Amino acid sequence: MNAPPEIKFFSGFDPETICETYGSPVYVYDAAVILRQLETFRAAFAELPHRILYAAKALSPVGVLRLLKEEGAGLDAVSVQEIELGLRAGFAPRDILFTPSFPSDADLDLAVELGARINIDNFGALEKFSSRHGDVPCCLRLKPAVIAEDDAARWYEESKFGISAEELERAAKLVEAGDLRVEGLHVHSSSVILDADVFAAAAKVLFEAAERFPALEYLDFGGGIKVPHREEDQVVNLAELAGRLAPAYRDFTRSCGREPELWFEPGRFLVSEAGILLARVTGLKKNGDELLAGVDTGFNHLLRPRLYGAWHEITNFSNPGGKPIEYRIVGQLCEPDDLAVERTLPEIREGDLLGFHNAGAYGASMASNYNSRPRPAEVLLQNGEARLIRRRETLDDLLGTQPGA
């Protein structure tokens, strides 16, 4: 009889030991994978002057932010709370770019007070910024009119982010009249963009607009670089993207006599593959022709399958050599909360430990307390140690915001 296949957990750690220590469910992140992805990104753009700002919205524990800060990354923050987390992690204020969507006046004022770089998203916000903070440098987020044959063109057209081409002329006149210093231009990209040509088209818009702003220090291409969740997934080839950007950048520098840095804001690319959600099987149930496996988590902890139909590979760590059987994996919520459907896995038994892969990005960061369930602990594997970076919530945490409860 053949021995069951050996499954290596992140950095050699045993998943059962992790759960015995920190409970189930639990999010686990491998620092080595984060650093590998960071180096991969840097290597792709090594021939261009560039900087990486980690998109904190993907995964925001201070322990993860500190890891990336120590490796020389900057921070993309979409809320003043993310700015404050970044400062707590040790980022210098000017290493943080505040890229909000429709911020309140109070948020914008606080971001300026905290010293972060400011990204302006629309003409109305630019008018207010000019009157309230005219002496503070800013970045302008643009909305490129990109022609493409897939979802990318529609995404740019329908996107709420950025100053449109029609508004750019007005914005440039306001900048000149108010003597504003525009230090950067930015474009918000999406993971629906799978073609380097589309990124190159967006870059062309930035390079053309950059000629109007002589004080530019950087051109920020945003994020949107995804990782494959299964073998057939199409993703942007970083080397190809760098190859497309390089000649356009050199043409720009020759014509303008300036060499602004190229900034990128990867989030998912850096942390998605580094994360796994471990969950315990609490029961099995026959449902017509289906076999349901219930686990001690749900879309309150991993929302992406429900919200986006996202695919997460699943490993049965307890029975890797079991007979292949098709399951529907469901959670504990009082809702239809399928985590996977028609998924063939080694035989699942009550008490088995399952791992949901590619859960580092937009997993814990999108978790909630739906059904009054606490959010799980988060653990970082680094330098041969498993370190708790966010403890499991308790009922006291849920009651702490309810006066008189």
Q: 220 near 139, Cβ under 8 Å?
A: yes
Q: What is the bridge-based pairing of β-strands 290-295 and 275-287?
A: antiparallel
How many C-alpha atoms does 235 have within 13 Å on its Cβ side? 16
The CATH architecture that domain 10-29+272-391 belongs to is Beta Barrel (2.40)
Q: What is the pLDDT of residue 1?
A: 39
Nearest to 26 by CA among 274, 296, 268: 296
pTM given for the model: 0.93
Three-class SS of residue 269?
helix
What CA–CA distances, in Å, run from 240 to 82, 195, 202, 265? Answer: 32, 9, 15, 18
Lookup: tokens for 120: 């302006």
Helices (H), 297-384: 304-308
What is the distance between the alpha carbons of residues 255 and 83, in angstroms, rounded to a whole number? 36
Q: Using CA atoms, how far apart are residues 226 and 37, in angstroms rounded to an integer?
A: 12
| Interatomic CA distance for residues 355 and 278, integer angstroms | 5
Contacts of 84 (CB under 8 A, 6+ apart): 114
Where in the chain are the domains?
10-29+272-391, 31-268
Given the structure tokens 């059962």, which residue do they identify?
16
Per-residue pLDDT of the chain (405 residues; tens, 9 = 90+): 355 555 556 788 999 999 999 999 999 999 999 999 999 999 999 999 999 999 999 999 999 999 999 999 999 999 999 999 999 999 999 999 999 999 999 999 999 999 999 999 988 899 999 999 989 999 999 887 654 445 545 555 667 888 887 788 888 898 888 889 999 999 887 655 556 777 777 788 888 889 889 889 999 998 878 787 887 777 778 888 899 889 989 999 998 888 999 999 999 999 999 999 999 999 999 999 999 999 999 999 999 999 989 999 999 999 999 999 999 999 999 999 999 999 999 999 999 999 999 999 999 999 999 999 999 999 999 999 999 999 999 999 999 999 998
Task: Name the amino acid, one letter, at 319.
Answer: N
Interatomic CA distance for residues 129 and 100, integer angstroms: 13
Architecture of domain 31-268: Alpha-Beta Barrel (3.20)
Which of the residues are catalytic? 334
Q: Which amino acid, 59?
A: L
